[in-house]
């Protein structure tokens, strides 16, 4: 299973990448919104993990742009922004799930598995 992690914090992205790879996920990392968007449209992923506070395009903008392009890849927003309005905005821009930092890695894995169980319409 291929995961695209869009996270600007180098330490968090390294730890997440290592943890996910230990669980047999193939992980690509982008450190800003523009790079993340370009990577997401250039290749096919099973799930995208997306921070909100990113340089360039923020996570809301990345999510909205991907959905406007017809990209159906499940998106899990993983962010320090935990206010109700942030969660609502994330889900309303097209995210399939939302998890606030700090988080349990086991909960993150369970949410990824849940997203992967959902039927997904792949673009031809």
So what's the pLDDT on residue 91? 97
Please determine, looking at this structure, whether the domain spanning 2-117 carries the CATH number 3.40.50.880: no
What confidence score (pLDDT) does residue 119 get?
Answer: 76
Q: How high is the pLDDT of residue 118?
A: 85
E-assigned strand segments in 7-60:
26-30, 47-50
**Residue 16: C-alpha distances to residues 50, 84, 92, 94 (Å):** 12, 25, 25, 23
* pTM of this structure: 0.93
| Domain extents in the chain | 2-117
For residue 5, the model assigns a pLDDT of 99
pLDDT (tens, 9 = 90+) of the chain, 124 residues, equals 999 999 999 999 999 999 999 999 999 999 999 999 999 999 999 999 999 999 999 999 999 999 999 999 999 999 999 999 999 999 999 999 999 999 999 999 999 999 999 876 554 3
């Amino acid at each position: 299973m291929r995961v695209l992690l869009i996270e600007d914090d180098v330490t968090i992205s390294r730890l997440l990448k290592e943890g996910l790879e230990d669980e047999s996920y193939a992980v690509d990392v982008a450190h800003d919104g523009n790079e993340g968007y370009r990577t997401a449209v250039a290749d096919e992923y099973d799930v995208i993990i997306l921070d909100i506070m990113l340089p360039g395009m923020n996570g809301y903008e990345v999510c909205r742009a991907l959905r406007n392009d017809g990209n159906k890849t499940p998106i899990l927003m993983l962010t320090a922004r935990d206010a109700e309005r942030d969660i609502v905005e994330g889900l309303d821009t097209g995210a399939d799930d939302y998890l606030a930092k700090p988080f349990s890695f086991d909960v993150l894995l369970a949410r990824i598995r849940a997203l992967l169980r959902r039927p997904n319409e792949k673009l031809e």
